[in-house]
């Protein structure tokens, strides 16, 4: 395994190959996003347009929620910022692993596709990464993301309603699969998750006049600030999570 | 307001969040508090987005609850994302046939 990794060539083709599992995972999840868009009354073109221009599952789900509720643009910007600000951290980490092929125009282009999964795969490479490898990873992953959205949005009018309804759980199932395993091992993450849930329940049932976007921002910040104070992260902890 | 405006604002915000640090930042964030905060944000966001919204995701709280329990159990057993997502939907679908 280690030998193979040392000799591994990083080029467009190996980027595509490493991106296949990401693309397959995205396909099923963005299928769920496509269905969600249909349930909220968006068109197929709008659903596909959102996926092609954003490439971020949690941000998109919150975003279409704001669109459906006719929220404000400020709410949209703040929500996207809070949900996606983790990409800034990933972008900073990744910027230390780039070789000389990453000129400014190429950074402007390839920063578009920094997602949790692409970051994890790129960051876990032994050597510095080049633009061709990064492009391969991004091309196939984004293709999977957009295609899945198209299929999900189209299926909305073909599949029986009982099936479509059940598929509404797919994205949330993925969110659960991201949070539960680390929450099991890390008290800080468990704390952040539980505080956010309690807060979210309070807003939903007791303060329904607060829209979902603001509820997410307030709950996420409250939970993160409290847990950052109670359970400050050690350097090694972060790195473990980043590549797992 | 036009949906295109929402989509454009959403896409631009998301792009800037990725692009600015990728192009400009070269140094690591030193503040332990700030790093911890950013470390917890994704988990807090996903938790707040999932509950209670998941109970209304299928149009029937009973089937949604069944799917939620299945997802939590499988995630606790460290199953891959796709398995958890598909099993949650399958469980809700089957529950819909029974109840």
- Each residue's pLDDT tens digit, B88-99: 999 999 999 998
Task: Give residue B52's pLDDT.
Answer: 94
Task: Give residue A5's pLDDT.
Answer: 46
CB contacts of A94 in chain B (<8 Å) are: 22
Task: Give residue A1's pLDDT.
Answer: 45
Task: Give residue A237's pLDDT.
Answer: 60
Q: Name the pLDDT band for B28 (thresholds 50, 70, 90).
A: low
Cβ atoms A178, B90 nearer than 8 A: no
Of B41, B51, B58, which is closest to A166 when you measure between CB atoms? B58
Distance in angstroms (rounded) separating the CA atoms of residues A209 and B6: 21
Task: Give residue A62's pLDDT.
Answer: 93
Task: Give residue A226's pLDDT.
Answer: 97
CB contact under 8 A, B81 and A174: yes
CB contact under 8 A, A224 and B15: no
CB contacts of A106 in chain B (<8 Å) are: none
CB contact under 8 A, B58 and A165: yes
Q: How far B10 CA lies from chain A's nearest CA (Å)?
A: 7
Contact of B99 with chain A, judged by CB distance below 8 Å, is answered with no
Chain B interface disruption, residue of A31, A145, A159, A166, most B CBs within 10 A: A166
| C-alpha triplet A73, A76, A80: angle, nearest 5° | 145
Chain A interface disruption, residue of B40, B58, B91, most A CBs within 10 A: B40
Angle between helices A44-54 and A131-155 (to 10 degrees): 160
Rounded to the nearest integer, the mean pLDDT of chain B is 90
Q: How far A58 CA lies from chain B's nearest CA (Å)?
A: 7
> Tokens representing A39?
């349930």
Distance in angstroms (rounded) separating the CA atoms of residues A212 and A174: 20
- The DSSP secondary structure of B36-99, one letter per residue, reads HHHHHHHHHHHHHHHTTGGGGSSS-HHHHHHHHHHHHHHHHTT--HHHHHHHHHHHHHHHHHH-
CB contacts of A160 in chain B (<8 Å) are: none
Give whole-number Cα distances, B45 to A16, A193, A194, in Å: 30, 8, 11
Question: Looking at chain B from residue 52 to 91, which residues have their Cβ under 8 Å from any Cβ of chain A?
Answer: 52-54, 57-60, 63-64, 67-68, 71-72, 74-76, 78-90
Of B49, B72, B97, which is closest to A216 when you measure between CB atoms? B49
Q: Name the pLDDT band for B26 (thresholds 50, 70, 90).
A: low
Q: Which residues pair with A55 in a beta bridge?
A: none
CB contact under 8 A, A166 and B13: no
Cis peptide leading into residue A108 (ω within 30°) = no
Distance in angstroms (rounded) separating the CA atoms of residues A1 and A62: 40
Task: Give residue A119's pLDDT.
Answer: 86
Q: Which residue has the higher pLDDT, B29 or A148?
A: A148
CB contacts of A196 in chain B (<8 Å) are: 43-45, 47-48
Give whole-number Cα distances, A225 to A108, A240, B44, in Å: 31, 21, 10
Interface ipTM: 0.89
Q: What is the tens place of the pLDDT at every residue in B32-60?
A: 998 888 788 888 988 998 999 899 988 89
Of B13, B20, B45, which is closest to A58 when you measure between CB atoms? B45
Parts of chain A with a pLDDT under 50: 1, 3, 5, 241-244
The H-or-E segment that residue A90 falls in is helix A86-95
Of B18, B58, B87, which is closest to A114 when you measure between CB atoms? B18
Q: What is the tens place of the pLDDT at every residue in B2-15?
A: 999 999 999 999 99
CB contacts of B87 in chain A (<8 Å) are: 173
CB contact under 8 A, B93 and A96: no
């Amino acid at each position: 395994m280690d030998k193979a990794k040392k000799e591994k060539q990083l080029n467009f083709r190996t980027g595509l190959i490493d991106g296949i599992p990401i693309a397959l995972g995205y396909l099923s999840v963005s299928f769920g996003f496509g269905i969600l868009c249909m349930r909220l009354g968006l068109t197929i073109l709008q659903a596909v347009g959102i996926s092609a221009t954003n490439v971020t599952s949690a941000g998109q789900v919150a975003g279409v929620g704001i669109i459906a509720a006719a929220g404000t643009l400020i709410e949209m910007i703040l929500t996207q910022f809070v949900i996606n600000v983790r990409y800034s951290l990933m972008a900073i980490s990744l910027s230390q692993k780039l070789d000389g092929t990453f000129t400014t125009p190429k950074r402007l282009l390839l920063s578009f596709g920094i997602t949790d999964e692409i970051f994890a795969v790129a960051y876990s490479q032994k050597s510095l990464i080049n633009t061709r490898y990064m492009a391969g990873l991004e091309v196939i992953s984004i293709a999977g993301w957009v295609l899945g959205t198209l299929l999900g949005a189209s299926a909305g009018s073909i599949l029986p309603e009982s099936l479509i309804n059940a598929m509404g759980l797919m994205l949330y199932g993925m969110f659960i699969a991201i949070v539960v395993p680390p929450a099991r091992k890390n008290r800080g993450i468990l704390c952040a998750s539980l505080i956010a849930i309690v807060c979210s329940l309070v807003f939903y049932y007791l303060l329904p006049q607060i829209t979902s976007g603001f509820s997410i921002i307030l709950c996420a910040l409250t939970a993160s600030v409290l847990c950052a104070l109670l359970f400050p992260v050690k350097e090694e902890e972060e790195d473990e999570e980043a590549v797992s | 307001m036009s949906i295109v405006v929402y989509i454009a604002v959403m896409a631009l915000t998301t792009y800037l969040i990725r692009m600015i640090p990728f192009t400009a930042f070269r140094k690591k964030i030193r503040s332990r508090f700030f790093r911890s905060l950013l470390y917890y944000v994704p988990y807090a966001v996903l938790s707040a987005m999932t509950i209670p919204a998941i109970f209304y995701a299928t149009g029937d709280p009973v089937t949604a609850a069944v799917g939620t329990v299945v997802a939590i159990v499988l995630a606790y057993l460290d199953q891959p994302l796709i398995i958890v997502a598909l099993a949650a939907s399958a469980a809700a679908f089957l529950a819909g046939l029974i109840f």
